[in-house]
Amino acid sequence: MATVTESFVDGESVGAKETYENVDPSNGQVLGEVARGGAEDIDRAVAAARRANRTWRATTPEQRSALLCRLADLIERDVEPLARLESEDTGKPLSQARNDARVCGRYFRFYGHAIDSYYGLSLQLRPDLHAYTRREPHGVTGHIVAWNYPLQLFARGVAPAVATGNCSVVKPADETPRTAVAVAALAREAGFPPGVINVVTGLGPEAGAALSAHPGTDHLGFVGSTRIGALVAASAAERVSPVMLELGGKSAHLVFADADVEKAARVAASAILQNAGQTCSAGSRVLVHESVHAEVVERIAGHFAKVSIGRGLDDPDLGPLVSRKQQDRVRGYVDAVGTGELLAGGAIAEPDGITGGAYFAPTLIDGVDPAAPIAQEEIFGPILTTMRFATEEEAVALANGTDYALLGAVWTRDLSRAHRLAAEIEAGQVYVNTYGAGGGVELPFGGFRKSGYGREKGVEALDAYTATKTVVVQL
């Protein structure tokens, strides 16, 4: 009998009247069934969170800190089983999934420590007035999580939310539900009261839509496409609820003539191969000064030629995309490229004769039209496009020439240029002579324009999951 992944609400597993299949993207086979939660299940989860919040918001930072750190211990204990679930669901190489599990634990530990030193302010008005601010939790926070980094995205939203006294309801992605349920169960084992962390599995148009529209949620976080993010924001706006959107990206590397060309090429290749390019902050465009263009392109192609492709559990360099649907989408962009020279890949891959998987070869296309869809739209695949520039101004114009503004990187030995361009590039994060797709737990993360708004990660996330109350006392 096939295993069924059930929701986890109010401290216990909850089934559903219907299920759907969880498919392994490495071979197209069914991993098991998933409870197809809907509006009623979201109602139950939100109600459980609201009941729990009556007492949870009154707990001390010390109490919450202890529980978050205890959960971090349990996640670290279970890194291997969590990584295996993550690798099977997403297709990503096992070593990458293992890192995701460790980072998941790191989020809970970071916010477990941070909450101990999170304070309001004393405001100096005049001698006879005592004015101060309090940071208070919103109440019930909803989290709609994408399928590319299920463990990290779960912790990225839930850890700061519960650390500040909120209770959470999580809707994991349709394709990758299992680790969210597993971490919620570990939270219960750690001693979190029932209802503080809830997970409802199901389909986006059903459970996801119900959570985004639910009047019982006081704050909503969404990670996913710009199109769906706009719908989520509209739904939240109808009930005047704050929302945090982390959406798409079309991030660019700017490689100048004085750069460490080998390092720039190696890092750019590695960043687009991470999680098969299914990373909102993947550096999918490489803009190269004309004097070193040929060398950079040759080196990237050389790195791509050495890539091993296979099942995530076999820990290759590149695993499958998350689904055959995503594979078709990626192939469509490559087939419609128009101008540009295909230097590597460009086709579906079938490692070891696997015909049911969702693999796509690492692809390098040089000289694409900056206005073409492949250079403008988020692809979410191992597709790297390269373009030339002659001047610094041209490089910045190309970097800022999309609707997205999430990340950027500047490769140069000129310190003045590095700081100048860090200010001119429109992005939420800018790297100089390095690149971190998503960055660390400590670094505030988010974008501008169609990349979304609000900031997650770092201490700034504590501000996002609280509201400021000002108190003024006449002495």
Spell out the long-range contacts of 214-218 with Cβ–Cβ below 8 A and sequence spacing 24 or more.
Answer: 214/42, 214/43, 214/46, 214/142, 215/239, 216/43, 216/46, 216/47, 216/49, 216/50, 216/140, 217/46, 217/140, 217/141, 217/142, 217/169, 217/241, 218/138, 218/139, 218/140, 218/141, 218/166, 218/242
Among 86, 88, 246, 378, the one annotated catalytic: 246
* Residue pointed to by tokens 């660019």: 252
How far from 324 is each of 247, 312, 382, CA to CA, in Å? Answer: 22, 15, 15
C-alpha torsion 104→110→113→119, nearest 10? -120
| Sign, Cα dihedral of 222, 225, 226, 230 | negative
Angle among Cα 198, 240, 470 to the nearest 5 degrees reads 90
3-state helix, strand, coil in the chain (%, to 5): 40, 25, 35
**Residue 82 near residue 89, CB atoms below 8 Å:** no
**Which of 315, 368, 294, 304 has the alpha carbon at shortest distance from 337?**
368
Pairing of strands 383-389, 4-5: unpaired
256 residue type, one letter:
F
Instruction: Determine whether 246 is an active site residue.
Output: yes
Helix axes 293-305, 261-273, angle to 10 degrees: 40
DSSP calls for 143-212: EE--SSSHHHHHHHHHHHHHHTT-EEEEE--TT--HHHHHHHHHHHHHTPPTTSEEE--B-IIIIIHHHH
**Which of 137, 154, 162, 452 has the alpha carbon at shortest distance from 280?**
452
* Residue pointed to by tokens 């700034």: 460
**Which of 97, 198, 124 has the alpha carbon at shortest distance from 157?**
198
416 residue type, one letter:
S
**Which of 138, 142, 140, 162 has the alpha carbon at shortest distance from 50?**
140
- What are residue 3's phi and psi, to 5 degrees? -70, 150
Catalytic residues: 246
